[in-house]
Amino acid sequence: MKKSLKLVATFLCFVFLVFSCFLLYYFYITSTVKLDKNKLVNLERTITFLDSDGAVVAEQSGGIMVTEIENIPPHVKNAFIAIEDKRFYEHNGVDYKSIARAVVNNVKTLSFKEGASTISQQLIKNTHLTNEKTFRRKILEFKLAKKLEKAYTKDEILQTYLNTIYFGDGCYGITSATRHFFNKDVSELNVNESAMLAGIIKAPSTYSPIHHPTRSNKRKNIVLSEMYKQKYISEKEYLQFKDIDVEVQNNVDNKSDFLSFANIELSKIINDSPYFDNNIKVKTTLSVKLQEIIDEVITDYTDDVNAEKSVILLNKNGEVLAYNSTCGDVRRQLGSIVKPILVYAPAINEDIVTQYTYVEDEKTNFSGYSPSNYNEKYYGKITVKEAVATSSNVCSAKILNYLGVENALKYANKTDLTFTENDRNLSIALGASEKGEKLSTITVCYNIFNNNGFYTSPLCVKSITDKNDKMLYNNYQKSTKLINSDTVEIMNEILKSTATDGTAKKLSSLNFDLYAKTGTVGNKNGNTDAYVISYNSEYTLGIWLGNKYGEVMGNDVTGGTIPCLIAREIWGKIYKEKSCPPPITSNTKLNEVKLDKISYEQDGKFVLADDNAPERYVFHAKLKSNYMPKIKSSRFTKPEIDSYTISIVNNCGIKIELCHAEYIDALVYRLDEKKNKLVFNTENNVSAFIDKNVTCNKIYQYIIIPYYKSGDKIFMGKEILTKKIKSPNFEFGENWWDNDFN
C-alpha cells in the first residue's frame, strides 16, 4: 500500500514538474508578444515578377479589398463558420473541446490529419505568424488569439478574417475572390457559391474551381452538409444545392499569358505559406525574346481559323520559356499526340516491340472495341516506325493491347498525366480519356526524348525572395527516370521520321533536325482539337488549336496543317539569328547491324546478313542488345534452290522448272555414265527448260547446282539430285510423268 502511494506521489510530482516547466516556457516566449492592429487592417501586397535574367517584367500590387460585415449575407458567414469553426461564437479564441476531440481522433488513427484551429487562430497565423509547424508557433498563436478576442468583437474578427483569407489565384479576401471566380459582389453570392468559397480555403490550389472543378464541387458539398447539420440551411436547400455544380468564369488575362500561367504555379506554392511576406519578388523562367517570337507568330495566325490557340515553349529541363493562349491551359482530349508517351515508348522500353516490328494495319475488333483510322485508311503490314508516322489508330491499339493498359498507366503515373478508373481500356491508345489533359502537361512529357529519358514537371517559378532579397523559396526540379537511354534513341529516330515523311512533314523544310508528332480529335462533322508537339536538343514546342467547349473547326484543320505551319514559323524565327541546334545524343548507343533484308521483309525475323550479300539485300538497323540476332544468313555463301519440278512434255522432251530467288542461278546437268552434260544455265533469268535431246523410253536423272555470282567470285551451293524420270514413247504419245523410278 505504501509502495503504491509512493508511486502515485512520484507520478503527481512528475506531472506538476512538467506542468510548471510548460507554464514557465509559455510565459517566457509569450511575455513580449503583442497584437499588432496594423497587421490586421493595413495589408498592402506587392508581387514583382522577374524574367529568367532577373529583369522586372511586371508588378502586381494594391491593398486588400474589404467588404463590411453588414454587407456580407448571413449564409456567406455561416458557410465559413460551419466548416472552419462551428463554435466560433462560443469560445474565447481557442476551442478546447475541438482540441480534445482532434487529439483523440488523431491517436485513434495514428495520424495528425485532424486540426482544431479556430477562425481567430487562423487570422492570427495569417497576419502575425508563419506557417512553420512548431510547438512555439502554436503557443504564440494561442496567446495572440486570446488577445484578439479581448480587443475585437466576434463580428469584427469574422470581418477581418473573411477580408484577408487566401483563396488561391492571387486572391486575398472574399471580395477579390468573388469578383475573380463569379464576377459579382459579395452581397450577390448565393448559398451554393458561398459553400464553394468556404471549401476552397482548406487548400486553394487543390480545390480551385477553375483548375479543379470536380474536386471543388465535392468539397462544396461537404460544406453544405455541415451547414445542414448545424441548421444553417434546410434539408430541402441541402438536397437542392448539392446536386448543382457551381460554374465559375476563368478570368485569364490575355495581355499577359505567361504571367497568368505562372500565377497558377505561384498559387500552388503560396498555398502552403500564403502570408510569408507582403512584398515578394518572383523570379520566373520567362525568356522575353522567345515570348515576343511566339506572340508575333500567333498574331499572324489570328484569323486563319475560328478557334482558340495555345502555344507553350519549354527547355529540356521543363522550364516554361514562353506561353501564349487565348483561353488558358484548358483540359481537352489529346488524340494521337499521346501515343508516343502512353503506347510506343513504354512498349519499346518493355521490349514488347522495336521500331522495326511489323504490325498489321487493318480493321480490328478488340472484344467489342473497334477503332478506325483517319478517313478509314489502312496500310496493311507496316512497321512500328511507319505506324507512328502515319498515326495509325489500329496499330496503336494493338500495341497497347500487347503491352497491357496497366503497364501503360504505370508510366503515365510517373508524370502529371491524369487518368481515372473509367480510362482503363484500349481507347486511351487514341488519346480518349474522361477528363482530358492540358497542353502544358502533355508537352512536357515529350522532354523525356531530349532529356535522356528523365521526366520533370513544367516549371514557371524559379525562386521567391523578399524585398531585401532574402530567399523565401527555391524551386529545385525533381526528375524521374521514365525510359531507358536506348528507348530514347529509338523514339527519336521514329519521331524524326514523322517530321520528315509523316503527318508532321510540313516541318521538313527547316534546315535543322526536328522530332515531332501530331494529333487530331474529331469526327465526320468536324475536328475539335488539333495538336503538334515538336522538339530538338534545346527546346520543346507544344501547339493546340480548338475550342474549350468542343465546337468543331472543320475537317481541314488537323495537327498536320495549321499547327504545323505555326510551329514551322516559330522554329524558323528562333533560329533565324542563332546557330542551329546540335543533334540529340544518347548515353547508350544502339547496336548498328546489317540484317538479312529478305528474312526481315518476308518473315519479320532478325537474321544477320550474309557477308557476301549485295547491298540491296542488306537492311541496316539499330537494335537494343537483347534484340541482337545470333544467326547469320548463308543464302549467298551457300545458295539454295527452293524447289523444282520435273515432268514429261508429250512428243517433246523432259521439262525441268526451278523455283529460286532472283539473285540465285543454277546449273543443270544430265547424268551420264561417261560424263555429265551441262544442259541448262539460268543466268539469263530463265528458270525453266525442256531437254529435247533425249531418247524415247529411257530413264534419265539430273543434277541441279545452285550458285551465286559476285563479281569474279562464284559461290556454289549444295547439289540436288532429281528423281528419275522415263522419257516418253513418242511413237504412241503415252504420258509417263506420273511414274517414279528408284
- H-helix segments, 502-560: none
Kindly tell me if the per-residue pLDDT of 604 is higher than 60.
yes
3-state secondary structure of 425: coil
Question: Among residues of the chain, what percentage have pLDDT more than 90?
Answer: 52
The predicted structure's pLDDT at residue 299: 83
Kindly tell me if the per-residue pLDDT of 109 is higher than 50.
no
Q: What is the mean pLDDT of residues 466-482?
A: 86
Return the axis-axis angle of helices 191-200 and 213-229, rounded to nearest 10°: 110
- For the chain, the average pLDDT equals 85
Among 205, 246, 242, 206, residue whose Cα is nearest residue 224: 242
Q: Nearest 5°: CA angle at 741, between 735 and 742? A: 175
Q: Are 689 and 653 in contact (CB under 8 A)?
A: no
Tell me the C-alpha distance between 543 and 568, whole Å: 11
Q: What is the DSSP secondary structure assignment for residue 149, as one 8-state letter?
A: H
Tell me the C-alpha distance between 70 and 79, whole Å: 16
Sign (positive or negative) of CA dihedral 366, 371, 376, 381: negative
Q: What is the mean pLDDT of residues 295-318?
A: 86
116 pLDDT tier (thresholds 50, 70, 90)? low
- H-helix segments, 301-349: 339, 345-349
Kindly tell me if the per-residue pLDDT of 335 is higher than 60.
yes
Condensed to tens digits (0 to 9), the pLDDT of residues 432-450 reads 999 999 999 999 999 999 9
Q: Are 209 and 196 in contact (CB under 8 A)?
A: yes
Give the residues across from 620 on adjacent strands: 594
- C-alpha grid cell for residue 213? 472543378
The predicted structure's pLDDT at residue 738: 43
Among 645, 700, 641, residue whose Cα is nearest residue 666: 641
The predicted structure's pLDDT at residue 638: 93
Tell me the C-alpha distance between 488 and 449, whole Å: 5
508 pLDDT tier (thresholds 50, 70, 90)? very high
Condensed to tens digits (0 to 9), the pLDDT of residues 50-107 reads 999 999 887 766 556 778 889 999 999 999 999 988 888 888 877 777 666 655 554 4
CA atoms within 13 A on the CB side of 416: 20
14 pLDDT tier (thresholds 50, 70, 90)? low
476 pLDDT tier (thresholds 50, 70, 90)? confident
